[in-house]
Amino acid sequence: MFIARQKRKENIAEYLLYMWQVEDLLRACKLDIDIVDAKIIAGFGLDDDRHREAHAWYESLIDMMRREHKKEHGHLQINDNVIIKLNDLHAQLLHDATRFPKYGAEYYKTLPFIVELRARTPEDGQRGEIETCFNALYGTLLLKLQGKTMTAATQKAIEQISHFIGLLAAYFKKDEEQPLFDND
């Protein structure tokens, strides 16, 4: 929770990837708060007040996962809302190409990789381009955690996707601090 809060302030992309990882950790703990307490929260070495706060946070996520039928797969609505916001910002940045030419250039450098990913993963074709990018980044994280390697071509694609999503995250932070667009 404390990590999530910090990541949310600093980098929305890291926050989302972290939250997806938390969802998977909760599933690995069988959505059992006692297991979460023993395997995750206890490892933080928190004082009593912070422990209760973390316990309540994880418990609320578990409750949401149950209510939203995300016990086995999928993402919580709170995380899907982040993707929606990023998609909206992405569309606005592309639409205003004269003000944000660097963003458009990075998007078009990334687009062939997005198209290739969607061709290889049919379910990604039903998602937006931004979610496809996040799926690729999260998949890379999981491969690293498993000690698996990637081909040079895949590494090149992930580097470009990561750079592009990093740029989108930077614009997201700027937009939160001082809106980039007049949304009237």
Q: Given a cut of 70, is residue 126 above it in pLDDT?
A: no
127 within domain boundaries? yes
183 within domain boundaries? no
Q: Given a cut of 80, is residue 124 above it in pLDDT?
A: no
9 within domain boundaries? yes
Residue 157 and residue 122 share a domain: yes
Structural domain harbouring 100: 80-177
**Contact assessment for residue 136 and residue 150, using Cβ atoms and an 8 Å cutoff:** no
Residue 97 and residue 42 share a domain: no
Q: Given a cut of 70, is residue 138 above it in pLDDT?
A: yes
Q: Given a cut of 90, is residue 184 above it in pLDDT?
A: no
Span 162-183, pLDDT tens digits: 999 999 999 999 999 999 998 6
The pTM for the full model equals 0.93
Span 87-111, pLDDT tens digits: 999 999 999 999 999 999 999 999 9
Mean pLDDT of 36-51: 94
Residue 108 and residue 51 share a domain: no
Residue 116 and residue 151 share a domain: yes
Quickly count: other Cβ atoms within 10 Å of residue 20's Cβ.
19
Please identify, among 15, 40, 67, the residue that sits at the C-terminal boundary of a domain: 67
pLDDT of residue 127: 76
119 within domain boundaries? yes
Mean pLDDT of 149-166: 95
Q: How far is CA 88 from the centre of its chain?
A: 15
Residue 61 and residue 31 share a domain: yes
Span 53-67, pLDDT tens digits: 999 999 999 999 999
Residue 155 and residue 87 share a domain: yes
Helix axes 129-145, 101-120, angle to 10 degrees: 70
**Contact assessment for residue 161 and residue 133, using Cβ atoms and an 8 Å cutoff:** yes
* Beta carbons within 8 Å of 118's beta carbon, 6+ residues apart: 124, 125, 132
Domains of the chain: total: 2
171 within domain boundaries? yes
Residue 155 and residue 85 share a domain: yes
